[in-house]
Amino acid sequence: MDKTTLSLIIGSFAALVAVGNVFWNVYSWRHTGARLQVKATSFVFADFLTSDQWFVAIEATNKGRTATTVTALGFEIPKGGVMILTEPAVRIDRLPKRLEPGETVIYPVSPDDVRKAATAQDVDPTACIPYALCGHGRFQGKIDANARDLLVDEPQ
């Protein structure tokens, strides 16, 4: 094997390692920031069990490796616009709230309030998309089946 072929093999290997390094840096950079998992779920307090008062709660959990500050929680309206929740039904957490990795913010609201706001916009409340806004962007989630049952006009 002559020096030219050996140089070509070593140079090709070095280029391959460099390209792999670029892909790893991009992957690592995208996964080091805060990532919020957002969902709307049903929620009840132990004190309210006898009165059967259920809430729809938006939960945002920081699944990333970096802390972030949640500044707003609400529902996106499919036709455009957002429904920002300014006052929870029961105050558990205050916004803005700093979330360390693994921490969750819970914001319960009355299903009636969500239905009224959605009806005012002429949309089905179960079609709204829960979201959280933080310093790392807007994260969307889903409404789980229990919360969806609370949001229908006539629960089954």
- 33-79: per-residue pLDDT in tens? 788 999 999 988 766 555 667 899 999 999 988 899 999 999 998 88
pLDDT of 127 = 93
Point out which residues pair with 59 in neighbouring strands: 39, 106
Is residue 156 very low, low, confident or very high in pLDDT (cuts 50, 70, 90)? very low
* Residue 25 vs residue 131, higher pLDDT: 131
**Residue 133 pLDDT class (50, 70, 90 cuts):** very high
Is 12 exposed, middle or buried, given 0-12, 13-18 or 19+ CB atoms closer than 10 A? exposed
DSSP E strands in 46-151: the ranges are 55-62, 68-76, 82-84, 97-99, 104-109, 129-134, 137-140, 142-143
Q: The pTM is what? A: 0.76
* Higher pLDDT, residue 107 or 30: 107
pLDDT in tens, 7-24: 999 999 999 999 999 999
Q: What is the pLDDT of residue 85?
A: 75
pLDDT in tens, 93-111: 889 999 999 999 999 998 9
Position 80 pLDDT exceeds 90? no
pLDDT for the residue 13:
93
